[in-house]
A and B are shown apart, each in its own frame.
Chain A
Amino acid sequence: MNNGIKDNKRPKVTDKELMELIQAGDERAFTELVARYQDRLLNFVGRIVIDPETAEELIQETFLRIYNQKHSYTPEYAVSTWIYTIALNLARSELRKRKLRRFLSLDFLKEESDIEIADNKSFSSESLAPILQKAIDSLPEDYKTAFILCDIQRLPYQQIAEILRVPVGTVKSRINRARAMLRDKLKPYKEIYYELSRGIPQIISLH
């Protein structure tokens, strides 16, 4: 029976329609939802917890919760908002657990290392990515999540406000602060990312 999910000729089933099917117990619809959101969630959760295995576990748990609490979804919110909110809560729990573990193991007494400038002074667009990721990771949690949702997930302010459960003004201010902090942290690499953003993906040497 073709219900339109895999048929390219028919209009695509919307997320809300998928949720209705899932709430009615349709497992194929649930699998389709997983396929639609798995990578998006990885680019969100994965950039918060960094470790890929942990990220995948958290995303799996997100979908399990979606399935088990499918009836708690109401159409006044976008499906994506609901999914991101669940994923965010799980990511935050993971970060809290890590903080506690670090605290208990007394690691917090060690100095936080600033982003190090590599010894070899040549960079490429490939080497910038981990530097940028590290810079994002070093942001305070509130700024980090706002930045990721805005500049990596490309969500509108209003939706970010719903996911984070703060006013839109707070979202704007956090994004502003996050970008300003990143600019500070990446000062040693200013020339590189500036040039790279203008589409010059070559190896650049600093002298």
Chain B
Amino acid sequence: MNCRGASRRLSAYIDNDLSPGIKQSVEEHLQHCVSCKRKLAEFEAIVSAAHSLAPLSIKSGFEERVLKAVHSRQETHEVLSNLRYRLTLAGVAFMATSAAIFFVVGPPSSVPLNSFAGASDSSIINSAQAPDFYAHPETKVPSFPVPEGSNPGTLAGNENLTPAESIRTEQFYGPTLQKVNENFNGKY
């Protein structure tokens, strides 16, 4: 084995990570090569110095600090998830109430229907399911807008539906309520 072969194996030699045959070749080379022998000594000295680095020590009381942090984070999680539940429920109730009000009372008369739907978006106005308040103010509409394939319940005869009851009317909300349920069940 020459210097090149030996010197690139010095690290593995220190860690006793060479097969017996290779290890022997390295040792034979080291016996007569001063520069490789010196290089090995320097490697060993660095590793030894690293071993001897004074071990650092954490300040006392660390375990208590960690436990305290664990508990305070648990409390924060509980507060947040509780808040989130309440906000989502309030948000749904708000939507239900305003939707109910909208469909029962109709849009403000000073606002023409086109501008509500958006100037460029006439698809809703022209679709068969679009409410035509001016023609039939007493029209009850199932939902707005109605997604493809859903089975809209009707508000007919149900003007007195409270927001809480509306929430349970899955058909009224279609996909929206499903999304709310996903948030409850999975995450918190």
Contact = CB atoms under 8 A, between A and B. Distances in A.
A93 interface: no
B17 interface: yes
25 contacts: A30-B67, A31-B63, A31-B66, A34-B63, A35-B63, A38-B63, A47-B56, A60-B65, A60-B69, A63-B70, A64-B66, A129-B54, A133-B53, A151-B51, A152-B50, A157-B15, A172-B12, A176-B8, A179-B11, A179-B43, A183-B39, A193-B49, A194-B42, A197-B44, A198-B45
Contacts of B54: 129
A136 B46 CA distance: 11
B62 A197 contact: no
Interface of A: 27, 30-31, 34-35, 38-39, 42-43, 46-47, 52, 56, 59-60, 63-64, 67-68, 125, 128-129, 132-133, 136, 147, 150-152, 154, 157, 172, 175-176, 179-180, 182-183, 186, 190, 193-194, 196-198
B55 A197 contact: no
Interface majority SS on A: helix, strand, loop or mixed? helix
A35 to B, nearest CB: 6
Given A183-B42, A197-B44, A176 B51 contact: no
Interface residues of B, number: 33
A183 B46 contact: yes
B42 A43 contact: no
Contact of B58 (A59, A128, A151, A180): A59
Contact of A197 (B11, B45, B66): B45
Interface string B20-51: 00000000000000000001011111111111
Contacts of A186: 46
A31 B67 contact: yes
A119 B12 CA distance: 36
Chain B interface main SS type:
helix
B86 interface: no
Given A67-B70, A68-B73, A194-B45, A132 B53 contact: yes
A1 to B, nearest CB: 19
Contacts of B55: 39, 43
A196 B69 contact: no
B42 to A, nearest CB: 5
A176 B56 CA distance: 25
B46 A182 contact: yes
A175 B51 CA distance: 14
Given A34-B66, A196-B45, 12 more contacts: A31-B63, A34-B67, A43-B55, A43-B56, A46-B56, A63-B66, A64-B73, A136-B50, A172-B12, A175-B15, A180-B11, A194-B41
B51 A154 contact: yes
B18 to A, nearest CB: 11
B47 A56 contact: no
Contact of A151 (B8, B47, B62): B47
B168 interface: no
